[in-house]
Amino acid sequence: MLTNPVQRRVPLTWRGIRHYPLIITQRLCSLSEPGTDPTEGLVLYLIIVHACTLWELKHAQLSTLLPFNETIPVPSLASAYYVILPKAAPSRGRHTPGRPSRQLDFPPEAASWLKPLLERFEQQRKLIVKETNNPYLLVAPGKAHRKIPVSDEFVRLLVQRASQHILGAACTARLLRQTAAVMLADTISAGILPWLGWEEKQAFAYAWAPREMVLPQTADPAPPPGPVTFPSAQEWRQKSSSPQSEQRGE
């Protein structure tokens, strides 16, 4: 008599692609409007249009061109019209060619609305950086002098706040990027995704795997208008460990 030594059921792993409704990205593309915070707008643009990862956003840098002498001004972000993205270190398990160039050029057809956004972003950034000569695109208030990348949490909160301002609900950087991948796979080809950082199997799954549409998380009431601020690490831990957070399952 044969007996089955396994007496429990193991659920199958969900292999679907989770993404937001495409109308969400269309609404988030209002990032060029004058009332939009320029840092929030630029980060949304880089995720939705260029499928930038959180790691790339953290390490993105401005143009490194140096003038021959002090009389030649350093080109602004709007005039240079590109940013420098980091190149991931090679690893044995990584099967993606990555982006063809570290220089991420912005599309000429978007210049009419993107350049004004870049100009507003650079003005806001100068108020934070001042004279510290920080090379990174994103800088945290009060920490620009350290000349180190911002934290993962900084970028996550930036994306959440940006989507809350536009949608009244919080989006995540990861799901926004996956939504961008869905759009690229449907309009161009899933074959482009390995060049944007997806593993080959993950990339081509966008062409055949079932998809699960999810909605952004309903946000708390929006804070009053003002400059973008982020809680300290201590404040964030206190909020996460509060009884209200535990009841909501945060």
Q: What is the CATH number of the domain that holds 62?
A: 1.10.443.10
Residue 217 host element (H or E): strand 217-218
Tell me, yes or no, whether 182 lies in a domain: yes
pLDDT tens-digit readout, 106-159: 999 999 999 999 999 999 999 998 877 889 999 998 888 888 999 999 999 999
Q: At what angle do helices 152-167 and 38-48 cross, to 10 degrees?
A: 100
The number of domains in the chain is: 1
Encoding tokens for residue 113?
A: 């609305």
> Residue 37 belongs to what domain range?
17-248
pLDDT tens-digit readout, 186-216: 999 999 999 998 988 889 999 999 999 999 9
Q: Per residue in 157-186, is it b (16+ CB within 10 Å) or e — as a string?
A: bbbbbbbbbbbeebbbbebbbbbbbbbbbe
**Residue 51: which residues within 8 A CB-CB, separation 6 or more?**
177, 180, 181, 184, 193, 196, 197
| pTM exceeding 0.85 | no
Tell me, yes or no, whether 11 lies in a domain: no
Encoding tokens for residue 43?
A: 């980060």
Tell me, yes or no, whether 242 lies in a domain: yes
pLDDT tens-digit readout, 48-70: 999 999 999 999 999 876 544 55
16 by DSSP, 3-state: which? coil
Ramachandran angles phi, psi of 223, nearest 5°: -70, 160
